[in-house]
Structure 1
Amino acid sequence: MKESEIRQIPLTALLAVSGIILPQFFHLLGLGAVFMPMFLPVMLGGLLLRWRFALVLAVVTPLASFTITGMPPITPPVLPVMMTELMLISSILSLLHVHLQKNKWAALISAIVADRFFLFIVAYFLAPVFGLPQMFASFSLVISGIPGIILQLIVLPAALVFIEKKFPQYLNPGLEK
């Protein structure tokens, strides 16, 4: 294992722990579902980590959070849907920003749009199982995430600027061409 990969292990762990602790503050105020706080550390991981580490982060964070806190719940199927969302979004961010060196804004917008489209499709097919109208459930679930998306678009670029200034070694994970 290369030094650049070894450096990614503690960063992945730090982001996973952040993804467990941060939502607790939001849930105390009843704002977890609105602001999607677990997404912030996982998405930051997608912007900083190689895709394999970003994917591990996206799987481990919600599973560990559920094991420790019981959130996100298994039923209704929030945990599996959220885990799949996090896997999708962190993979897209890592592939675009880390591996293909695309602009952070292009990576963020692409990942968020893909996530919202995925969530719309999942909600559309799960709504009848819960006796909900498909289009209403799909649109309301997608729209309810807008405050969280705004938070992501503010916090994540600012975090990248901070990391670029204070910890530039984490911006280039030593990818070989």
Structure 2
Amino acid sequence: MQESELKQIPLSALFIASGIVLPPVFHLAGLGATFLPMFLPVLLGGMVLTWRFALLTAVLTPLASWLLTGMPPVVPPVLPVMLVELSVAALLCSVIRVHLRKSVWLALVTAILADRLVLFLIVKVMAPLLGWNHPLFSISIVISGLPGNVLQLIIIPWVMKMIKSKFPQWYHLNNEQADWIAE
């Protein structure tokens, strides 16, 4: 294992731990499904980790959270859906931001749009199988998370700027020449 990969292990652990601790805080106020708190650390992980570690973070975060807190629930199938959503979003962030060295905004907007599309398609297929036949059910699920997407668009670029100024070494985990934030 290369040194740059070794540095990603504690960062992955930090993002996973944040993804376990943050959602209960939002759920105490009944805002978990609206503000998508688990997405914040996973998307941030996608911004600074290579795709393997970003994917690992996206998979382990909801699984560890479920094992420790029972959230997200398996029934209704929120956990499996979130596994797919988080994996797609983290992979896209990592590939666009870390590997292709594009801007945080491009990576984030692409990941959010892909996540919403994946969620819509999964719910469109699964809802009738579970007896939820309302024609607007999948749209309403997607729309209910829009405040969370706005929060992501505010928090993640801000945190990335803070990381750039306070922890510049995190920007160079994959490539010593990478300039991670295109202004």
TM range (shorter): over 0.9
1:26 is displaced (CA, Å) by 0.3
Question: Which residue does the alignment assign to 1:133?
Answer: 133
SS in 2 for 1:171: helix
- Cα deviation per residue 1:84-138 (whole Å; 9 max; x = unaligned)? 1000000000000000001111111111111111111111111112322354111
1:172 is displaced (CA, Å) by 2.0
SS in 2 for 1:9: helix
**d(CA) in 1 for partners of 2:147, 2:58:** 21
Question: Which residue does the alignment assign to 1:37?
Answer: 37
Call closer, same or farther: CA 1:155–1:176 in 2, change over 3 Å.
closer
Question: Which residue does the alignment assign to 1:104?
Answer: 104
2:157 equivalent to 1:157: yes
**d(CA) in 1 for partners of 2:130, 2:5:** 43
Taking the TM superposition and a 5 Å limit, the aligned residue runs for 1:7-86 are 7-86=7-86
What is the TM-score normalised by the length of structure 1?
0.97
**d(CA) in 2 for partners of 1:149, 1:137:** 19
* Contact 1:45–1:57, Cα closer than 8 Å, also in 2: yes
Q: How many residues align?
A: 177
Call closer, same or farther: CA 1:171–1:135 in 2, change over 3 Å.
farther
SS in 2 for 1:72: coil
CA RMSD of aligned residues (A): 1.3
* Contact 1:98–1:172, Cα closer than 8 Å, also in 2: no
* Contact 2:15–2:45, Cα closer than 8 Å, also in 1: yes
Identity of aligned residues (%): 54
**d(CA) in 2 for partners of 1:72, 1:17:** 15
